[in-house]
Amino acid sequence: MNEISSQQVADAMYALVKEYHGKKNLKAMDLIKAMREKFGEGCDDKLCKQAIRELMESERCTYSYVGGSYVVLNPEKK
């Protein structure tokens, strides 16, 4: 079975955030659930959290705190 890398998961998360930009705010848990559906058993919470961390550190995404904590595209990188 192919090993899923955190970079693959981060890229898939970024694509999802980009797709829903301006339509719906996604929480970190929404992203984790979507990645579990997409990648199956090989994608656990630890891998998803690492992928979110990579998105934040690379500044492709950032957190938005408007009535809750959401993962959004970095406004400076659009």
36-58: pLDDT as tens digits: 999 988 899 999 999 999 999 99
**How many helices (H) and strands (E) would you count in the chain?**
3, 2
Q: Are 51 and 13 in contact (CB under 8 A)?
A: yes
Per-residue pLDDT, 34: 96
Mean pLDDT value of segment 18-41: 94
Domain boundaries, the chain: 6-73
Distance CA 70, CA 63 (A): 5
Residue type, position 40, single letter: G
Q: CATH classification of 6-73 is 1.20.120.1200, yes or no?
A: no
Q: What is the mean pLDDT of the chain?
A: 92
